[in-house]
């Protein structure tokens, strides 16, 4: 995590999932102006993109102070990323751990592209702080989620734009239980309930079953992680 940049505005990589929603709340509690960016690369589940709209609308309704800071949402279509990926997120292949030890949901280098596009958009919007929910704790298999990767990328982007750009990753060393705790600290019960009801993380796009921790199939890796984190947070003293 770094604190380069002007400090007054942030652009949050926002997918409508639990992690990026907590990051959005984190940014809204720190920056005067917060904008969001999302990427459509042919995700199998339109449900993810719908979740973005619901989360933003409910944040505005439940948190007037944050509503005043929450600015434009930007949606970028990246069909090229979907075209070159052969993963469970973009094709109807089964989720499993591939030969390289990475889940087949892994999209090679995805976060490098996301942040590079975000930086270019941020340049046009006058925003030099980029915020993302990447985390080393739960997904150590994703090399583009690592702190060193992202801080080195921030340096490359800063050089490429000839302007300091910071990448903030408030969840980098936080596990899923800690993410629930952070939501509670930032927005109390109202934010925790918003995340349970509206965010989406299930790989299978399942919104038929509502569990204590939210909607999902309950058995895919993303659901298991979310449920385990919830249970650990609930059980914490």
Contact residues toward Zn ion (CB under 5 A) are 202, 204, 216-217, 220, 223
Nearer to Zn ion (CB atom), residue 157 or residue 223: 223
Residue 189 contacts residue 206 (beta carbons within 8 Å): no
Nearer to Zn ion (CB atom), residue 171 or residue 202: 202
- On the CB side of 155, CA atoms within 13 Å amount to 7
Q: For residue 34, what is the enclosing H or E element?
A: strand 33-40
Question: End-to-end CA distance of the chain, in Å?
Answer: 28
State the nearest-atom distance from the C-beta of 234 to Zn ion, in Å: 19
Residue 16 contacts residue 200 (beta carbons within 8 Å): yes
Nearer to Zn ion (CB atom), residue 135 or residue 150: 135
Report the number of secondary-structure helices (H) and strands (E) in the chain: 8, 7
State the nearest-atom distance from the C-beta of 154 to Zn ion, in Å: 32
129-131/70-77 β-pairing: unpaired
State the nearest-atom distance from the C-beta of 60 to Zn ion, in Å: 28
Nearer to Zn ion (CB atom), residue 166 or residue 221: 221
Residue 13 contacts residue 118 (beta carbons within 8 Å): yes
State the nearest-atom distance from the C-beta of 141 to Zn ion, in Å: 18
Nearer to Zn ion (CB atom), residue 47 or residue 76: 47
State the nearest-atom distance from the C-beta of 226 to Zn ion, in Å: 8
């Amino acid at each position: 995590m770094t604190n380069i940049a002007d400090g007054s505005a942030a652009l949050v990589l926002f997918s409508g999932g639990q992690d990026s929603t907590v990051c959005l709340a984190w940014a809204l509690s720190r920056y005067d102006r917060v904008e969001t960016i999302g990427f459509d690369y042919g995700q199998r589940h339109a449900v993810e993109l719908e979740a973005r709209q619901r989360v933003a609308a409910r944040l505005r309704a439940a948190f007037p102070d944050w509503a005043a800071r929450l600015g434009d949402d930007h949606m970028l279509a990246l069909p090229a990323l979907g075209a070159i990926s052969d993963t469970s997120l973009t094709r109807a292949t089964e989720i499993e751990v591939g030969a390289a030890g990475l889940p087949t949901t892994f999209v090679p280098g995805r976060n490098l592209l996301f942040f590079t596009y975000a930086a270019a958009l941020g340049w046009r919007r006058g925003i030099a702080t980029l915020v993302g929910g990447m985390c080393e704790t739960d997904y150590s298999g994703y090399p583009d989620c690592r702190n060193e990767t992202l801080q080195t990328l921030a340096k490359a982007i800063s050089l490429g734009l000839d302007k300091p750009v910071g990448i903030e990753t408030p969840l980098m060393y936080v596990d899923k239980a800690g993410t629930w705790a952070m939501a509670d600290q930032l927005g109390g019960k109202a934010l925790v309930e918003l995340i349970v009801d509206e965010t989406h993380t299930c790989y299978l796009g399942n919104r038929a079953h509502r569990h204590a921790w939210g909607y999902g199939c309950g058995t895919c890796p993303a659901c298991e992680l979310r449920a385990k984190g919830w249970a650990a947070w609930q059980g914490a003293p």
